[in-house]
Structure 1
């Protein structure tokens, strides 16, 4: 990976002529996003992100922290926050912003010798598992990092609205798609193109079923304005 999103984040932080990030998926045409959006303050965050930060407590792990905006807010509140991201550039930007406990780390290889009371996965946290058939392993890993009374706060969207309706009023989904929420993402920045990567949006019912199958309780905490939602996962009580 060329770490282009991380490069955009670091460019913005260091005032190195940042440009818009161009994203394109197997379902959508090219679209541009200002990297400034990743540096937004609490007041400018969507309601489901604000709610997640309100619920965060105890020892907190921010997975895929990006520019670190969520972690910085919690740090300023005096909470015990650890942030991780696979992007070296993003982590460097976080450090420059003043985030104290941030490291380059893939959550799937994170040691479970330390457990957390809150695990945050925001800005479509389900996307990190890539494909639906990887969600069991993904949830099992998160579960191993969770204290007995801990919580996983994760958001996603149901993108069924993006598909056309058929004659019967149902949605027409191409037969070659294993799950309609699975996309292939491509990112361009400053004339460079990132290697394509898998990304998945998981609808709430599917996430709930996967959570239960992996020993986790799933609660719908808040729904956003555009098919997005925040879920809270906890250990399933027998």
Structure 2
């Protein structure tokens, strides 16, 4: 069984046992730190892209991959009907403890209820895992939208991490179809997760794949470092 690295770390922080942060590592980067306090940030501490997404959220909302529930809590405080889901049992325990009224352990692909707004934040395209699975996820997300509904999703263009030749070609590892496909691993207090796939999509490719799935992608806002917020509708 996959260890709940994220959940265990969130639980430690929530119950006052914070002594260290999560360590992350990918196939294209060295070991890095994911500070636990950042996962408990309030609205004022969030990046502008996340703040924008929250201001655009309306109606009945699904916060997919909710983590510690910071986005769900804010929207709940604004009077919205929010359901927070995550595959991490520890994360959902923390969400409930922090006051999220509707929080449950669930995989996005198992959701059948429809929503006016679906939030996929903190590199929301990561949940797609790899390029091949994007159409399947987009089709499913489209089926979860009410008429006039929207998907608010963010990601980053990782092109800046690679060498580009004179013809515009990107030098990437030959075992990956696309430079935004990463192999990821998380560690916490001596425990490590199994390696898992995590996808960063540049906006132009997201727009192209969305169109193939009958969705229109709008670039809502760009961040300071190749990151962006997109709005998908049909």
C-alpha displacement at 1:185, in angstroms? Answer: 0.3
Say whether the 8 Å CA contact 1:87–1:104 is kept in structure 2. yes
C-alpha displacement at 1:4, in angstroms? Answer: 0.4
Residue in structure 1 matched with residue 39 of structure 2 by the alignment? 38
Within 5 Å, which residues of 2 pair with 1:25-174?
A: 25-111=26-112, 114-166=113-165, 170-174=169-173
Once residues 109 and 79 of structure 2 are traced to their aligned partners in structure 1, the CA distance between those partners, rounded to angstroms, is 27
Q: Deviations over 1:105-142 (max 9, x none)?
A: 0010112xx21000000000000010010000000111
C-alpha displacement at 1:227, in angstroms? Answer: 0.2
C-alpha displacement at 1:77, in angstroms? Answer: 0.9
C-alpha displacement at 1:78, in angstroms? Answer: 1.0
Residue in structure 2 matched with residue 218 of structure 1 by the alignment? 217
Segments of 5+ residues of structure 1 without an aligned counterpart are none
Once residues 87 and 179 of structure 1 are traced to their aligned partners in structure 2, the CA distance between those partners, rounded to angstroms, is 28
Pair 1:22 & 2:23 matched:
yes
Secondary structure in structure 2 of the residue aligned to 1:177: coil
Evaluate the alpha carbon distance shift between residue 107 and residue 169 of structure 1 in structure 2; reply closer, same or farther with a 3 A threshold: closer
Once residues 176 and 95 of structure 1 are traced to their aligned partners in structure 2, the CA distance between those partners, rounded to angstroms, is 40
Once residues 21 and 176 of structure 1 are traced to their aligned partners in structure 2, the CA distance between those partners, rounded to angstroms, is 27
C-alpha displacement at 1:62, in angstroms? Answer: 0.3
C-alpha displacement at 1:169, in angstroms? Answer: 5.9
Residue in structure 1 matched with residue 176 of structure 2 by the alignment? 177
C-alpha displacement at 1:173, in angstroms? Answer: 2.3
| TM-score under structure 2 length normalisation | 0.97
Once residues 71 and 223 of structure 1 are traced to their aligned partners in structure 2, the CA distance between those partners, rounded to angstroms, is 22
Once residues 53 and 189 of structure 2 are traced to their aligned partners in structure 1, the CA distance between those partners, rounded to angstroms, is 33
Once residues 228 and 8 of structure 1 are traced to their aligned partners in structure 2, the CA distance between those partners, rounded to angstroms, is 26
C-alpha displacement at 1:168, in angstroms? Answer: 5.0
| TM-score under structure 1 length normalisation | 0.95
Q: Deviations over 1:33-55 (max 9, x none)?
A: 21110000111111110000000
C-alpha displacement at 1:16, in angstroms? Answer: 2.1
C-alpha displacement at 1:67, in angstroms? Answer: 0.3
Segments of 5+ residues of structure 2 without an aligned counterpart are none
Once residues 194 and 29 of structure 2 are traced to their aligned partners in structure 1, the CA distance between those partners, rounded to angstroms, is 17
Say whether the 8 Å CA contact 1:4–1:187 is kept in structure 2. yes
Say whether the 8 Å CA contact 1:85–1:105 is kept in structure 2. yes
C-alpha displacement at 1:174, in angstroms? Answer: 3.1
Once residues 199 and 135 of structure 1 are traced to their aligned partners in structure 2, the CA distance between those partners, rounded to angstroms, is 12
**How big is the alpha-carbon RMSD for the aligned residues of Structure 1 and Structure 2?**
1.1
Q: Deviations over 1:162-190 (max 9, x none)?
A: 00233556432233321110000011100
